[in-house]
Structure 1
């Protein structure tokens, strides 16, 4: 056997194999680099579709569920409101009750609201005229119903809810002169934190959840983004509220939509008024 020729054949064979493997490696690397280049970031996708979001809230870190129960207002508490120039609106459903899950009060003398510093004046009215009014704060003005919506807070975080849910809310009713003439109140009490804490998703991840569900149309804008608590299915008495991102988007037609994203699980919930 001619070992010299055999050795040469082996060297050539391994050389050809090395060249083939090198070509395959560089082709795979180029494909991988191209795929990475093709996968745009969320920020790039939003920019390409002209979806604006501005400065985002800081990361929350750990989050937790909270529990609460609906308060029953007593006749004794209502009688103290009588001293403040208020009277209970009596209906067929509450005429013989000794406690009330919600109050509907009427002011003897309407309370005027200014054109400026509206939020401050509303918060003042709550503290001075509503049971545990310091727990509530101005949320938004509902021009359609000519009312002002105020909601409870827990540790400076909003307890989000719809008007239909009305679990911890004060609805101030306005007359044509922009005066408060009455209000409806519900309240949560005995709020407790669930001991187990979990990492929350960032504000940008919450936006991504909306984007992936096609809830962010082109040329839209995220006008409000806040972290708080929300229950998608309110119960009659005991409430379980999840840490939640509340996001309001405005379309190019100036239509506004509310969404809630569970800050632990990333599920998207759309608010239905």
Structure 2
């Protein structure tokens, strides 16, 4: 055996291996550096366009879809509500069940100038079926009403007002008294077993930016995590884990968006 040739072959083999490992190392480091640079570039682009935000929520971890059934309220349930009158509308489903309750109060319920939301929470718990499930969403100045939406595990079930799938709308008079309300409700809520890592809040903002939804010199004034369906069904609902983002433009206009927290899909919506 020619040991000199064998030695040369081993040296060349190790040299080739070293070169291969070195190339792999630099490629991996380059990808890592590119990812870091890409994240920084997104933030820099937002700043360059005057798009500001603050106090983003932390990472959610695993996200999951939920299913739910629209509740049919019965006349027996309604009869237990004291000092309230059921108003019949086209939300009446059949002889004894209702998808949306329309209730008039026998006596107006006054709200104080301070701690108003605390007083409303008391009203909901004492006067509305499963009222503890609903939490403040926003106030509609045009109709002089307060919108409360249902929650699941302390996360909002987002919905457009017209969808009305798990919502209480409180109607007020000029004296700031509750005089009537509408209610819809989701029940039999179940989590879909397959769970995936939810995208962080900044990624949801990036999705809006890349789709040209964010205007220059706008401010993201609110971002919340919850559940949402942009195609409400008549009975069974499928709701996706969703980031809800409210943007205020430099023209003092507010725009509302939903971003699927698993797929990064942007769902534009008006509140």
Quickly name the TM-score band, shorter chain normalised: 0.7 to 0.9
Match of 2:139 in 1: 141
Q: Once the 2 structures are TM-superposed, how far is the Cα of residue 96 of structure 1 from its aligned partner?
A: 6.6
Match of 2:59 in 1: 59
Report the TM-score when normalising by structure 1: 0.83
Does structure 1 conserve the Cα–Cα contact (< 8 Å) formed by 2:92 and 2:100? Answer: no
Number of residue pairs matched? 237
For residues 95 and 180 of structure 2, the distance between their equivalents in structure 1, rounded to whole angstroms, comes to 21
Match of 2:128 in 1: 130
Q: Once the 2 structures are TM-superposed, how far is the Cα of residue 79 of structure 1 from its aligned partner?
A: 0.2
The C-alpha deviation readout for 1:191-243, integer Å capped at 9, x for no partner, is: 00000101110100000000001111111000000000000100000000000
**In 2 relative to 1, CA 186–45 (structure 1 residues): closer, same or farther, beyond 3 Å?**
same
For residues 95 and 198 of structure 1, the distance between their equivalents in structure 2, rounded to whole angstroms, comes to 38
Q: Which structure has the larger Rg over C-alpha atoms?
A: 1
**In 2 relative to 1, CA 106–95 (structure 1 residues): closer, same or farther, beyond 3 Å?**
farther
For residues 267 and 241 of structure 1, the distance between their equivalents in structure 2, rounded to whole angstroms, comes to 14
- CA RMSD, Structure 1 to Structure 2 (Å): 1.8
**In 2 relative to 1, CA 51–104 (structure 1 residues): closer, same or farther, beyond 3 Å?**
same
Partner secondary structure for residue 45 of structure 1: helix
The C-alpha deviation readout for 1:64-88, integer Å capped at 9, x for no partner, is: 000000000011100001xx21010
Match of 1:217 in 2: 215
Structure 2 gap ranges (5+): 1-29
Q: Once the 2 structures are TM-superposed, how far is the Cα of residue 137 of structure 1 from its aligned partner?
A: 1.2
For residues 255 and 269 of structure 1, the distance between their equivalents in structure 2, rounded to whole angstroms, comes to 18
**In 2 relative to 1, CA 221–99 (structure 1 residues): closer, same or farther, beyond 3 Å?**
same
Match of 1:244 in 2: 242
Structure 1 gap ranges (5+): 1-31
Match of 1:3 in 2: none
Does structure 1 conserve the Cα–Cα contact (< 8 Å) formed by 2:255 and 2:270? Answer: no
Does structure 2 conserve the Cα–Cα contact (< 8 Å) formed by 1:220 and 1:251? Answer: yes
Does structure 2 conserve the Cα–Cα contact (< 8 Å) formed by 1:126 and 1:137? Answer: no
For residues 257 and 110 of structure 1, the distance between their equivalents in structure 2, rounded to whole angstroms, comes to 34
Partner secondary structure for residue 80 of structure 2: helix
Does structure 1 conserve the Cα–Cα contact (< 8 Å) formed by 2:218 and 2:248? Answer: yes
Match of 2:111 in 1: 113
For residues 227 and 186 of structure 1, the distance between their equivalents in structure 2, rounded to whole angstroms, comes to 21
For residues 245 and 123 of structure 1, the distance between their equivalents in structure 2, rounded to whole angstroms, comes to 25
Does structure 2 conserve the Cα–Cα contact (< 8 Å) formed by 1:224 and 1:247? Answer: yes
Match of 1:208 in 2: 206
